[in-house]
């Protein structure tokens, strides 16, 4: 049945590719994977395979990948993605020797793929459980690890009707899971090679924080120049209170923008999840009477032109209409909002919390352990509507000591969760 479903999915992707650009990239990429492997695989090398569904899973696996490469430079690394949102962003990543799509999990594709690579070790990040690939890896005695995985009672593996498919879990050499519940669930179906390591994503956000860039455009927007015209990076030097909204969608923006239209004493930085022109215009339409500037417009201005410079510094809303800056932008905020909680599910909470600031998010967060724990310790604030958001923002504004305390709790939570990468790497047996 599983293989019938895989062939049906393959046909569905082929048909959908005729009408959808994202699916078209995926379809072409999967077919192109074998050409890339034939051209780039070194038959004399030993490959370690890392598979991530998309960009988020890549960020979780990245600390292990980079540490493995550093500690075992004689091995080459293959990185595969399932989704275009991962591959298209990281196809030029320098930390892997070969990067391509993972073909659809049919028996034929899996055999052909693994015959070309002959991996000596494989890592699947979080939710990746591909039946044919995993069974062939097990048959070939390839050590295979599930990293930062998390399990819940309602998943198919733990239902009576999912017992056959659940056998795929026995193909892993070891599970490195995020919490006790995941370990107990795996133990309940007879899987004992399980260790609670936490989430490697916390290691990654600490790496990102260490490498964060100062952004002159943002600092000019926030009037962070000293008397010599040089930039200062301490948050305390920001003259206004700053709210940073990251990875926001329209339902998020309709809530927080309404509040800040009524509170012009706050400066607002918005880094939306979608930066298409239609969405940017929707955001600008919501910003009634605010002085708005886009990052790319501000970034193209020359400091020598005083009029253009003052336009940036007179603005009170900065829209980030490009990718790659958000993790560095959170450093400038006193409060953050992470989007997606009114739709697809919240995005990267630790990326904001690591900067010692309280973080707002929407209600679709049940599947996100970090959201549940931040709610519990006070570093995160869940909201369901505008009224809740306004009330909690008013509380933070009226009690600056509470705002700072919540931020310290959020940052401390992220720092306290670090270390999963070290635990995973200590468990590996790597031939010299």
Question: pLDDT by residue (tens digit) across 393-423?
Answer: 999 999 999 999 999 999 999 999 999 999 9
Spatial separation of the C-alpha atoms in residues 311 and 63, rounded to whole Å: 41
Spatial separation of the C-alpha atoms in residues 380 and 304, rounded to whole Å: 42
- Among 226-230, 294-298, 423-427, the least confident range: 226-230
**Do residues 357 and 378 lie in contact, with contact meaning Cβ atoms separated by under 8 Å?**
no
**Do residues 246 and 361 lie in contact, with contact meaning Cβ atoms separated by under 8 Å?**
no
Residue 309 reports pLDDT greater than 70:
no
Spatial separation of the C-alpha atoms in residues 329 and 312, rounded to whole Å: 16
Helix axes 21-40, 107-117, angle to 10 degrees: 40
Predicted local distance difference test score (pLDDT) of residue 228: 45
Spatial separation of the C-alpha atoms in residues 364 and 315, rounded to whole Å: 33
136-163 pLDDT, tens digit per residue, is 999 999 999 999 999 999 999 998 888 8
- Among 65-74, 99-108, 236-245, 335-344, the least confident range: 236-245
Predicted local distance difference test score (pLDDT) of residue 306: 54
3-state secondary structure of 144: strand
């Amino acid at each position: 049945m599983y293989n019938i479903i895989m062939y049906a999915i393959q046909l569905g992707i082929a048909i959908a590719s005729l009408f959808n650009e994202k699916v078209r990239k995926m379809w072409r990429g999967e077919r192109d994977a074998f050409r890339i492997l034939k051209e780039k695989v070194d038959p004399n090398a030993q490959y370690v395979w890392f598979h991530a569904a998309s960009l988020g899973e890549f960020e979780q696996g990245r600390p292990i990948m980079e540490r493995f490469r550093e500690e075992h430079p004689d091995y080459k690394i293959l990185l595969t993605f399932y989704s275009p949102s991962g591959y298209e962003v990281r196809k030029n990543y320098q930390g892997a020797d070969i990067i391509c799509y993972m073909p659809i999990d049919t028996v034929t594709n899996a055999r052909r793929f693994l015959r070309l690579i002959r991996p000596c070790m494989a890592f699947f990040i979080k939710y990746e459980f591909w039946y044919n690939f995993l069974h062939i890896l097990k048959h070939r005695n390839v050590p295979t690890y599930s990293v930062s995985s998390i399990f819940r009672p309602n998943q198919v593996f733990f239902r009576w009707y999912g017992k056959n498919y659940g056998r795929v879990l026995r193909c892993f050499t070891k599970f490195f899971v995020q919490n006790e519940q995941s370990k107990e669930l795996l133990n309940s179906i007879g899987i004992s090679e399980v260790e609670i390591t936490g989430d490697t994503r916390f290691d990654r956000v600490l790496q990102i924080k260490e490498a964060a860039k100062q952004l002159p455009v943002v600092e000019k927007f926030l009037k962070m120049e000293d008397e010599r015209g040089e930039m200062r990076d301490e948050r305390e030097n920001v003259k206004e209170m700053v709210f940073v909204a990251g990875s926001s969608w329209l339902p998020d923006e309709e809530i927080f923008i309404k509040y800040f239209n009524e509170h012009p004493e706050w400066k607002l930085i918005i880094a939306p999840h979608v930066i298409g022109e239609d969405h940017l215009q929707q955001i600008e339409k919501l910003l009634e009477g605010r002085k708005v500037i886009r990052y790319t417009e501000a970034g193209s201005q020359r400091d020598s032109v005083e009029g253009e410079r003052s336009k940036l510094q007179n603005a009170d809303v900065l829209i980030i209409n490009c990718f790659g800056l958000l993790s560095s932008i959170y450093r400038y905020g006193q409060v953050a909002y992470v989007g997606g909680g009114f739709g697809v599910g919240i995005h990267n909470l630790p990326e904001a919390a690591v900067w010692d600031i309280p973080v707002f998010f929407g209600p679709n967060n049940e599947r996100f352990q970090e959201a549940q724990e931040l709610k519990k310790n006070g570093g995160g604030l869940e909201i369901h509507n505008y009224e809740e958001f306004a009330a909690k923002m008013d509380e933070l504004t009226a009690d600056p000591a509470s705002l700072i305390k919540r931020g310290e709790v959020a940052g401390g939570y992220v720092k306290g969760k670090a270390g999963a990468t070290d635990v995973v790497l200590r468990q590996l047996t790597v031939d010299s």
